[in-house]
Structures are given as C-alpha cells and as structure tokens.
Amino acid sequence: MSEPIDRKTVESVARLARIDLPEDQIDDTASKLGDVLTYIGQLEQVELPDDVEPFFGAIESVNAIRPDQLTDSVDREQILSNAPDADGEFYQVPPVL
Amino acid sequence: MDLSTLSAAELVKRLSSGELTAESCTESFLERIKDRDSSLNSFVSTAESAISAAQAIDERRSTGQAVGALAGLPVAVKDGICTAGIATTAGSRMLEKFVPAFDATMVKQLLSADAVVIGKTNMDEFAMGSSTENSFFGVTKNPWSDQHVPGGSSGGSAACVAADLAPVSIGSDTGGSIRQPAAFCGITGLKPTYGRVSRFGLIAFASSLDQIGPMARSAEDCGLVMNVISGHDSNDSTSAKNDVPDFTQTLNDSLKGLRIGICKEHFGEGLDSEIESAVNESVKVLESLGAETVEISLPHTPYAVATYYVIAPCEASSNLARFDGVRYTHRAATAKDLTEMYCQSRAEGFGEEVKKRIMLGTYALSSGYYDAYYLKASKVRRMIKHDYDSAFEKVDLILGPTTPTTAFKIGEHTQNALAMYLADIYTVSANLAGVPAISIPCGLTSAGMPVGLQLQARSFDEASLLRVAHQFQLQTDWHTRRPNA
C-alpha cells in the first residue's frame, strides 16, 4: 500500500473527486500524493490487538434526535443569492445530458 | 488612552463601569487594524456593522437595559465561521463572494453576550495548512518577524491578537490549528473538548476532529470567552450535553497535589533544544506551585500524524463535495454540461493543497483501499485514545511543547508538505482522541521567537487547563511580551 500512485490511478481519482486535472499536472500530482501515501504507509507497521474496534470520533453516542416540529428556516431568497445562477425559486445548472 | 494592550477582562470591566464606551472601544481597534494590518494581512475583512452594533450596546446600557457578559468587547472571528451578512470565505476562491444567511451558533452566542464582531481573520484555505500561506487572500505575516509564518490554519486569528489588533479572537482546530499558531505568535489558544462548543456554522473540514475555541493573550481571557461559547446546541448533533462550569471561577484554585504527566514521546528527535529548555523551565514553575510531575508515555504518538493524514483527508473529501458550483458562488464560466461544470468549478475554485487532500481522501476511501487506509487508521486512532485513557488514570494533565520548532520562514516548507505536516506532531493526538488542550507562551528563543507550552486534559476538563495556565501566567510574564517591545 505504500507504493507511489501511478498516472492512471491519479486520473481516476481526479475524475471521482470531480476535479479537472490538466494533462501536464498529472505527474506532479502523482508525485505529491505518492509522498503522503508513502508516509502514511508506516501505519502498516502498527501492531493492533485482534479485537480492537475502530474509533470514528469522540462522541460515540447514538443518533441525536429531536421532536419533529416546524421551526423557522432561512429565507429562500437569501440562500439563492449565493448561487451563481438561480431563477428566484430554483438553482439553475448547465444541461445534465 | 491606549486600549490595545488591555486584557479582555480589563476591557469588559471598563466597559461595564462606563469608563469606556463600546463605540470608542470598537473604533479604536478598527483604527489600529486600518493602520497596521496592511503589512500583516491578518484580516480578510473588517465588519462595517461593528460601529452601529457597538452604538446599540451603548444605547441599551445608557438607558438601563440589561447587557451581556461581554458587552462591547471586540472579537475577531476566523473566516471559516459563518457570520450573517458578513462575507465568509474560508480562505478560498471558491467562497470569495459567499455571504452567509445565518450566524454560526457560537457567533450567535457571542452576539447574545453583546460582543462586537470586528472582522474576519485570514486562514489556510478550508483550514488545510499550518502556516496561513495557503490562503487565496495572501500570506499572513508573523507579528514577531515579517519573514516568518504565523502558523495555521488560524494564523490570522493568532496574528491579530499578537499584534494587539483584537483583544480576543476565535479559531478552529482540526489538528493543531488553534494551538500551533498560538505558540508561533506568543499567545494563549484553547482547543476545547470535542463537542464542548457547537460547530454549527463552522465550514466543515474534518467533522470528527474540528473544534472551535478562543485565542487571547491570557488564560483568563480565554475563560471569559469559553463561558459564552460552550454548551449544547440542538443544531449540532455532535454537541455534548455536559454541564458547563464557570471557567473563570476556579482560575485561582491551588495546584497542590495536581499530577502532571510529562509525555516522553514529546521530547524526542526533532525537538528544538531551546524549546526543550523553555518547557523544562516551565515544569519547575508548576512544581514550585505544588504540582507533582511524573513521566508518562503515549506510545502511539509516532503514528499520530500518519493517522491524521488518512482520517482528515477522507472526511474532507466528503465534506468538500458540497462545493460544486451550484450553491456557493464560484462557477466555471465555460462548462458545457453539468459534470464538466463540477470538474472545472472545483479545479478553479480550490487551491493546490485542498485539491491534493480531496484526492488523497477520495483515493483512501475508494473501493479496495478502505480497509488498508481508513479502517486501519481508525483502529490506530482507538489505540491513541487508549493511550490517553491509560495516562489519565495516573495523571490529571499532560504537559509538553506545543510544536517541535518555533515559527518557520515563509516559503520554507512550500515544496515539502511532509515537513509542514510534522509541525503538528504534538497537537494532532488531542484531536484524534477528542481531549481538550491549550497552548500558552513559555519563552522566547535567542532569535526572539515565541515558544509554546501545551497542556492536555481529560475530556471536559478545560477548567483545569485554564487554571494551570492562569497560575503559570501569574508567575511568569511570557504572555505579556509583545513583538517589537
């Protein structure tokens, strides 16, 4: 797992992450990701007890629930004002297909 | 009257007695920012609404109406925390023109206490960095030396307090982002327990690690702010329901019998010898106040940074998926279809480090790699948590340096990301385990740069951190030293 990442994998990861990666930046990105992956590869050496449970966060409580009651929400116009394109009611995006 | 060097506690006292008005106090700090921040770049923006907010507080006070605990106190807020009607950029081109429609819960709490938000501070983009060099809005300088970084990611919040441009500020800490810049700038910074302060309205980086906290010149001032921003919030499902003490009430309790663990893994290779001596001197001060010290071990410390650089990017890759060119400001102009619009907007809107971490997280979570990276790291995280649990059976606090070196030079680690990541080697574990930790000034090197002392405590025992820090600050004057003085 500590082997540096190849060009093909970098292209596929960029696609999954929805980040345009120009051809001339692939090698540099592979090398930078590879450095970090090599460093975190040291986790392989950590010996763990067989029964260790993963720790995903310091609040290990059950879901927080609240009564299902109507509360005020933020004004739609204000929210849409941050959108690059909206028609007053909906967000607008370029054609999907 | 020069207000800039007064503590927050003193300002609140003068505001309350009527000796000082909120308006003149706010004006005085805004004036200082205008005069001095062009070279420092600690603020992304100042709040135009601050003066009228201050006038309204004065008006209420003069007509005998009740005012809050921080009435008239100027506060600077990290630009990754949402402020209604005030641009909130998270240091990113992606959010260059984003104006939140709501206040973060802790901002609301500050405003209910009648604090005055005077501006938004610079930060590494989406809090990803340890130097405040990764901001779309330029590098912030360290007030102690314009050749050096202020630390990060809350570098603007640290620098503005160190330069007396704000008496207190708010930062956020995912792997050290409050404590490391506090150490680099010679101020006091507290990362509270995970869950102690609501994160509703904090632009999320790594949700199982992020925590908001105060930065100030003293532990006492941090306590004043903690009293206002702590507590449960139904808008944050990870917010804790634990009781909130009055953090200023126990500051003067004795340290007799307090057990402080010296973590041996924090004194190894890579630690600057001048920092080591300053920390050792601090131990003597605390011993003279009646604290007992014992050596302890947090054996998984060497793996903390690697664990962090799996978990934080994984969470970031998910959290930052929301920045897609649809809802928040930046959209690429030339895209022909939706997928192209996502890909181009994200390529243009995010900086290099953010893109790298998103891709790292995407890779580590992708099919076939999850067990090797995320699951393994989460198990090592459990061991790190166990280390703390065992240590806190023997001691009340854990002491060590905040950082292995003092502030590094601007550009020094730009080409070597791992060297930058290792600046957080002593701070990331507290985030992984969820425990509270504070950094306080404990010395200056021969080159005149500040040194930070870190104290860590059991979950929800911020009161002990503030008490020990306050008692230390009554015996020492490191926290009163100013740049160029």
- What integer pLDDT is reported at residue A46 of this predicted model? 95
Place A3 in a pLDDT band, splitting at 50, 70 and 90.
Answer: low
The verdict on residue B360 lying in a domain is no
Q: Does B324 touch chain A (CB under 8 A)?
A: yes
Query: Closest approach of chain B CAs to the CA of A53, in angstroms?
Result: 6
Q: Report yes or no: B447 at the A interface, CB cutoff 8 Å.
A: no
User: Phi then psi for B29, rounded to 5 degrees?
Assistant: -75, -40
Task: Please state the ipTM of this predicted complex.
Answer: 0.94
Given a contact cutoff of 8 angstroms between Cβ atoms, the answer to whether B374 and B365 are in contact is yes
Q: What number of other Cβ atoms are within 10 A of residue B272's Cβ? A: 16
How confident is the model over B90-115, as a mean pLDDT?
97
Beta bridge partners of B456: B398, B437
Mean pLDDT of A16-30: 96
Which chain B residues contact residue A34 at CB under 8 A? none
Which conformational region is residue B18 in: left (phi greater than 0), alpha (psi within -120 to 50 degrees), or beta? left
| B406 in any annotated domain | no
- The answer to the question of residue B213 being in a domain is yes
In a domain, B331, yes or no: no
Mean pLDDT of all residues in B244-265: 97
Per-residue pLDDT for B237 more than 80? yes
Return the number of other C-beta atoms located less than 10 Å from residue B239's C-beta.
Answer: 22
Residue located via tokens 């116009």: A77
DSSP state of B125: G
* Range of the structural domain that residue B225 is part of: 8-254
pLDDT at A63 over 80: no
* Pair of tokens at residue B437: 């930790």
Distances (CA, A) of B128 to B42, B202, B313, B358, B372: 17, 14, 9, 11, 24
pLDDT of B455-474, one tens digit each?
999 999 999 999 999 999 99
B residues 407-436 lying closer than 8 A (beta carbon) to A: 417-418, 421, 432-434
With a CB-CB cutoff of 8 Å, which residues 157-196 of chain B face chain A?
193-195
Q: Chain A within 8 Å of B93 (Cβ-Cβ)?
A: no
> Which tokens belong to A4?
């540096």
Please name which of B400, B442, B405, B434 lies closest in space to residue B420, comparing C-alpha atoms.
B405
Residue that has been written with the tokens 């005055």 in this structure: B116
Q: How far is B324 from chain A (nearest CA, A)?
A: 9
The helix/strand/coil state of B291 is coil
3-state class (DSSP) for residue B444: strand
User: Are the beta carbons of B423 and B182 closer than 8 angstroms?
Assistant: no
Residue B2 token pair: 């020069």
Segment B72-83 shows an average pLDDT of 98
Number of other CB atoms surrounding residue B324 within 10 Å: 19
B124 falls within a domain: yes
At residue B94, does pLDDT exceed 60? Answer: yes
- Dihedral sign, CA of B416, B418, B419, B420? positive
Cβ within 8 Å of A, B 213-232: none
Which residues, at least 6 apart from B133, have a Cβ–Cβ distance to it below 8 Å?
B124, B139, B149, B152, B410, B411, B414
Closest residue of B to A30, CA-based?
B356
Maximal C-alpha separation, chain B: 70
- List strands edge to edge, sheet with B211-216: B43-46, B116-121, B74-78, B168-173, B211-216, B188-191, B437-444, B450-457, B397-401, B259-263, B292-296
Task: Tell me which chain B residues have a C-beta less than 8 angstroms from the C-beta of A19.
Answer: 343, 346-347, 350, 355, 358-359
Determine contact: A13 vs chain B, CB below 8 A: yes
A50 CB-side CA count, 13 A: 0
- Look-up: residue for tokens 């990060």? B152
Query: How far apart, in whole angstroms, are the C-alpha atoms of residue B359 and residue A20?
Result: 11
Q: Is residue B368 part of a domain?
A: no
Asked, for residue B84, whether it belongs to a domain, the answer is yes
In the DSSP assignment, the letter for residue B372 is I
Partner A contacted by B85 (CB < 8 A): no
- Give the minimum alpha-carbon distance from A65 to chain B in angstroms, rounded to a whole number: 8
3-state helix, strand, coil in chain B (%, to 5): 40, 15, 45
Residue B215: pLDDT above 90?
A: yes
What pLDDT shows up at residue A60? 62
The predicted model gives B332-360 an average pLDDT of 95
Range with lowest mean pLDDT among B114-123, B264-273, B283-292, B382-391:
B264-273
Instruction: Tell me the average pLDDT of chain B.
Output: 96
Name the residues of B annotated as catalytic.
78, 153, 177
Interface contacts A/B by beta carbons within 8 Å: 168
Please list every residue in chain B whose beta carbon sits closer than 8 Å to the beta carbon of residue A94.
335-338, 340-341
Radius of gyration of chain B (CA): 21
Supply the CATH number for residue B218's domain.
3.90.1300.10
The one-letter amino acid at B344:
Q
What are the pLDDT digits (tens) for B127-145? 999 999 999 999 999 999 9
Which residues in B lie closer than 8 A to residue A84 (C-beta atoms)? 325-326, 329-331
pLDDT confidence band for A61 (50 / 70 / 90): low
Cα B54–chain centre separation = 25
Rounded Cα distance, B414 and B411, in Å? 5
Closest CA to B173 of B462, B467, B472: B462
Q: Which residue has the tokens 């925590």?
A: B211
Look at residue B485 and tell me whether its pLDDT is greater than 60: no
For B219, the token pair is 């532990």
B201 Rama sector, left if φ>0, alpha if ψ -120 to 50, beta otherwise: left
Q: Residue B401: phi, psi to the nearest 5? A: -70, 155
User: pLDDT of B30-61, one tens digit each?
Assistant: 999 999 999 999 999 999 899 999 999 999 99
Query: Which 8-state DSSP code applies to residue B263?
Result: E
Residue B196 is predicted with a pLDDT of 98
Which tokens in the block code for residue B111?
A: 């405003």
What is d(CA A74, CA B303) in angstroms, rounded to the nearest whole number?
Answer: 43
User: Measured in Å, how far apart are chain A's first and last C-alpha atoms?
Assistant: 37
Give the per-residue pLDDT at B273.
97
Give the pLDDT score at A1.
Answer: 42
Query: Is A62 near chain B, with CB under 8 Å?
Result: no
Question: Do strands B43-46 and B450-457 pair parallel, antiparallel, or not at all (unpaired)?
Answer: unpaired
Give yes or no for a contact between B160 and B135, defined as CB atoms under 8 angstroms apart: no
User: How far is residue B468 from each of residues A47, A54, B98, B275, B480, measured CA to CA in Å?
Assistant: 36, 33, 40, 19, 17
| Contacting residues of B for A4, CB less than 8 Å apart | none
The pLDDT-based confidence of B434 (bands split at 50, 70, 90) is very high
| Cβ pair B134, B128 in contact under 8 A | yes
DSSP, res B112: H
Nearest to A93 among B326, B330, B384 (CB): B326
Nearest CA in chain A to B333: A84
Residue A71's pLDDT is 87
Distances in Å between the Cα of B94 and the Cα atoms of B89, B317, B326, B414 are: 8, 15, 11, 22
**Structural domains counted in chain B:** 1
Question: Mean pLDDT across the stretch B100-107?
Answer: 97
Closest approach of chain A CAs to the CA of B107, in angstroms? 16
Check pLDDT > 90 for residue B92.
yes
- Tell me if B453 is assigned to some domain: no
Chain B CB contacts of A46 under 8 Å are: 300, 303, 376, 380, 383
B226-245: average pLDDT: 95
User: Which residue does chain B place closest to A61, by CA atoms?
Assistant: B238
pLDDT reading at B170 higher than 70: yes
Share above pLDDT 90 across residues of chain B, in percent, rounded to a whole number: 95
Residue A18 to residue B346, Cβ atoms within 8 A: yes
List the one residue out of B424, B387, B379 whose CA is nearest residue B297: B387
Check CB contact of A84 with chain B, cutoff 8 Å. yes
Instruction: For residue B361, give both structure tokens.
Output: 């997280």
Residue A2 pLDDT class (50, 70, 90 cuts): very low
